[in-house]
Chain A
Amino acid sequence: KAGVTQTPRYLIKTRGQQVTLSCSPISGHRSVSWYQQTPGQGLQFLFEYFSETQRNKGNFPGRFSGRQFSNSRSEMNVSTLELGDSALYLCASSLASATNEKLFFGSGTQLSVL
């Protein structure tokens, strides 16, 4: 069974640009969550999608948005990039037949903002 797949693996952007990251969950998983990982802040929750609806949202500005498609694949978009957005963005999926199930993580997208 394929794991969680995130593309691209690396991205380099400049300030002011926007970026879209993609995540394909494990087959059958309906919940997709996004986390930002930085050396200073650690892993911080961005949002969670379940059945194409945002179910939970963390404390990030509106520049961070996401969506989920009918096949459970998810995209995350960051607009008007800032230097502080440089981070490893991790996607995680779960069956979500109930909440608080273990998350399966992808390898992440390393975003560098210059």
Chain B
Amino acid sequence: AQKVTQAQTEISVVEKEDVTLDCVYETRDTTYYLFWYKQPPSGELVFLIRRNSFDEQNEISGRYSWNFQKSTSSFNFTITASQVVDSAVYFCALSEATGNQFYFGTGTSLTVIP
């Protein structure tokens, strides 16, 4: 069965603090894809990153970084030096090789306090 767990429902940090959003997934497939999306108050989900199961390299994009560990089935997302504009709900998602269906976690609501 496929499942994505984001145990942190809500997180509040003070501006400029670093914050890590956790994501744990379950799948029986050996080929799969992991995603992170950001949903600001406007409602539209914004794509942040896509990673396939064969690429365990960590990735950094500006203040964002992602840590993919197959051994623990985790794909965590870190925001460095958080800003108020980072306040949003963040979703982790899994897609298997067959089909284009995405399984989303329940999201983590991040509030960055100025």
A100 contact set on B, CB distance < 8 A: 33, 50, 52, 95-97, 100
B107 contact set on A, CB distance < 8 A: 42-43
Q: How far, in angstroms, from A52 to B75 measured CA to CA in the complex? A: 34
Partner-binding segment picked from A60-68, A76-84, A102-110: A102-110
B99 contact set on A, CB distance < 8 A: 48, 55-56, 99
Q: Shortest distance in angstroms between A60's beta carbon and chain B's nearest beta carbon?
A: 12
DSSP class of A's interface residues: helix, strand, loop or mixed? strand
Chain A: interface size category: 20 to 34
Q: How far, in angstroms, from A100 to B50 measured CA to CA in the complex? A: 9
Cβ–Cβ contact B100 & A106, under 8 A: no
Query: Which residues of chain A have a CB within 8 Å of any CB of chain B?
Result: 3, 31, 33, 35, 42-45, 48, 50, 55-56, 58, 88, 90, 92, 94, 96, 99-108, 110
Q: Could you name 13 residue pairs across A and B whose Cβ atoms are closer than 8 Å?
A: A33-B100, A33-B101, A35-B102, A42-B105, A43-B107, A44-B104, A45-B103, A58-B101, A96-B100, A99-B95, A102-B47, A105-B44, A107-B42
